[in-house]
Amino acid sequence: MPATTVHRVYNFSAGPAVMPLPVLEEIQRDLVALPGVGMSILEISHRSKTFESILAQAEADVRTLAAIPSNYRVLFLQGGASLQFSMVPMNLLGAGQTADYIDTGSWANKAISEAKKVGRVNIAATTKADHYARIPNQSELTLTEGAAFVHITSNNTIEGTQYQGLPEVGADSGDVPLVSDSSSDMFSRPIDVARHGLIYAGAQKNMGPAGLTLVIIGDDLVRRAAEKQSTLPTMLSYAVHAENTSLYNTPPAFAVYALGLVMKWLLAQGGLGAIRSINERKAAKLYAEIDRTGFYRGTAQSDSRSLMNVTFRLATDEIEALFVKESTAAGFDGLKGHRAVGGMRASIYNAFPEAGVDALVSFMRNFEQRRG
Ligand SMILES: *Cc1c(COP(=O)(O)O)cnc(C)c1O
């Protein structure tokens, strides 16, 4: 059965999220037996030559895509971005040191809670008073001299805000490393890896299926982690995973394989510069419709709007419920906003087709005509 005959809805889910159709088709085609191997990716040993080369190729493609300098390691871990909330301070926050966290929303808050269990935390800025509708300016940051690191959330999946540029944290002088939770915008645009000490992201938003967390970490921070290695659970040490090239224990082989296919797809799109242009075009269409009359109201300040998660509201809870009901019936899935903030959220990650954005814009216009 050719996969193209299968009916697919427009999936606006925030994560796990839409994957590129050619990737799903390749997985389907090769699931029973990888070409030339005669076994499924679900069946092969993680110590086999086949899997070693799948892992190595996925890493090579990640490196090419993000132009990762040679003094950074790429790790394939488990436990989601949520485990990184703990691993980052456990590995990088020394006794007597302070870690700076910039509070831009729900996920940043979870990262802060976990860090506080490990050591001293300074909230370098928060936009809570503005309902997290914006990213703080550089001038609002109260950074700690000699902080262990500064933690940001590059894209706030729930609130629909995104850093438009990286904050200055002294990383250029090599002092204070920038740590970024990039779970919901990883590989949606070019990344200046050298300005970071560590970048982490759960795969299930923009890179593949759930069960895999990508970590890009500088060698200097691997060395810092090595100093704490003897005091940490083995599985929670960056030094252990770097030393064992992500093969200390059984990695999530299927997710690594699928992420590798998504990386190949991204390279075929023209890389991160090309995908950024597409993402900008898709998001601009939706924001233009949101701003057109005032019937819809964008929740993020316009200078902080996310290209990945477009959040908006309608006048009342009743009309929002109607919008969800009618959009679902029309074949749009996942437009209901996160339960913590309400409203609508259209997650339009890399793999979300532009035709789906066009269809949503038409639906929104039609809905306004009927209900406005
Ligand atoms: C989804 C998300 C997380 C949590 O990811 P898990 O992989 O479910 O642990 C953390 N941070 C951000 C920004 C997210 O979008």
Same domain, yes or no, for 277 and 261? no
> What integer pLDDT is reported at residue 5 of this predicted model?
66
How far away, in angstroms, is 110 Cα from ligand 1 center? 10
* CA–CA distance, 16 with 28 (Å, rounded to integer): 18
Cα gap 247→217, rounded to integer Å: 16
Whether 264 and 175 map to the same domain: the answer is yes
Task: Map residue 185 onto helix, strand or coil.
Answer: coil
- Identify the residue whose C-alpha is closest to ligand 1 atom 1: 183
Atom of ligand 1 nearest to the CA of 182: 13
Angle between helices 271-291 and 253-269 (to 10 degrees): 80
311, 283 Cβ separation under 8 angstroms: no
- Quick one: 87 and 163 in the same domain? yes
Residue 293 lies in a domain: yes
**Three-state secondary-structure class, residue 261:** helix
Beta carbons within 8 Å of 187's beta carbon, 6+ residues apart = 65, 66, 206, 207, 266, 272, 275, 350
CA nearest to 100, candidates 140, 149, 171? 149
- Residues 176, 281 share a domain: no
**Residue 195 domain-assigned (yes or no):** yes
Tell how far the Cα of 360 is from the centroid of ligand 1, in angstroms. Answer: 25
Q: 242 and 279 share a domain? A: no
Residue for token digits 């540029």?
165
C-beta of 183 in contact with ligand 1 (< 6 A): yes
Polymer length in residues for the chain: 372
Q: Is position 295 within any domain?
A: yes
Which parts of the chain register pLDDT below 70?
1-5, 171-174
Closest residue CA from atom 10 of ligand 1: 81
The answer to whether residue 92 is domain-embedded is: yes
In a domain, 192, yes or no: yes
Structure-token match 């990508």, residue found: 214
Domain that holds residue 363: 272-371
Task: State which ligand 1 atom lies nearest to the alpha carbon of 158.
Answer: 15
pLDDT at 284: 98
Does residue 256 share a domain with residue 127? yes
pLDDT at 172: 52
Predicted pLDDT of residue 6: 84
**334 in ligand 1 pocket by Cβ < 6 Å?**
no
Q: Are residues 33 and 138 in the same domain?
A: yes
Residue 10 counted as domain residue? no
Q: Shortest CA distance to 286 belongs to which of 259, 308, 269?
A: 308
pLDDT at 175: 79
> Which residues are registered as beta bridge partners of 101?
123, 151
Q: How many helices and strands in the chain, by DSSP H and E?
A: 10, 14
- Count: domains in the chain: 2
Ligand 1 center–CA 77 separation, angstroms: 14
Q: Which of 202, 237, 268 is the last residue of a domain?
A: 268
Of 268, 291, 324, the one marking the end of a domain is 268
Cα–Cα distances in angstroms (integers) from residue 354 to residues 56, 109, 160, 279, 366, in the given order? 32, 32, 19, 9, 19
Query: What's 208's domain CATH number?
Result: 3.40.640.10
DSSP-derived 3-state class of residue 323: helix
Q: What is the 3-state secondary structure (H, E, C) of 22-66?
A: HHHHHHHHHCCCCCCCCCCCCCCCCCCHHHHHHHHHHHHHHHHHH
- Please report whether residue 9 resides in a domain: no
- For tokens 């935390």, what's the residue? 121
For residue 248, report the distance from its CA to the centre of ligand 1, in Å.
Answer: 24
How many Å lie between the centroid of ligand 1 and the Cα of residue 212? 11
82, 112, 199: residue to mutate for ligand 1 pocket, most atoms within 8 A of CB: 82
Same domain, 233 and 135: yes
206 and 333 together in one domain: no
Residues in contact with 316: Cβ distance below 8 Å, sequence separation at least 6, in sequence order: none
Question: How many angstroms separate the CA atoms of 372 and 364, rounded?
Answer: 10
Cis amide linkage into residue 16, ω under 30° from 0: yes
157 lines ligand 1 (CB under 6 A): yes
* CATH value at residue 345: 3.90.1150.10
Q: Is the CB of 181 under 6 A from ligand 1?
A: yes
Task: Specify the DSSP class assigned to residue 227.
Answer: H
Check if 337 has its Cβ closer than 6 Å to any atom of ligand 1: no
Instruction: Give the helix/strand (H/E) hosting 162.
Output: strand 161-162
CA 294–ligand 1 middle distance (angstroms): 31
Place of tokens 């970071």: 196
Residue 16 placed within a domain: no
Query: Which of 216, 234, 268 is the last residue before a domain boundary?
Result: 268
**Closest residue (by CA) to atom 13 of ligand 1?**
183
CA–CA separation, 239 and 227 (whole Å): 9
Distances (CA, A) of 122 to 77, 115, 245: 27, 10, 33
Which phi and psi angles does 278 have, rounded to 5°? -65, -45
As annotated, the active-site residues are 107, 181, 205
- 3-state DSSP call for residue 187? coil
pTM: 0.97
Amino acid at 96: G
State which of 78, 103, 157 you would mutate to test the pocket of ligand 1, scoring each by most atoms of that ligand within 8 A of its C-beta: 157
The burial of 1, by beta-carbon neighbours within 10 Å (0-12 exposed, 13-18 middle, 19 or more buried), is given as exposed
pLDDT of residue 66: 98
Q: What is the pLDDT of residue 4?
A: 56
Encoded tokens for 237: 């040490």
Rounded to whole angstroms, the Cα distance separating 234 from 239 reads 9
Task: Note whether 330 and 234 are same-domain residues.
Answer: no
User: Do 232 and 292 share a domain, yes or no?
Assistant: no
What is the reported pLDDT for 1? 42
Asked if 279 and 252 sit in the same domain, the reply is no
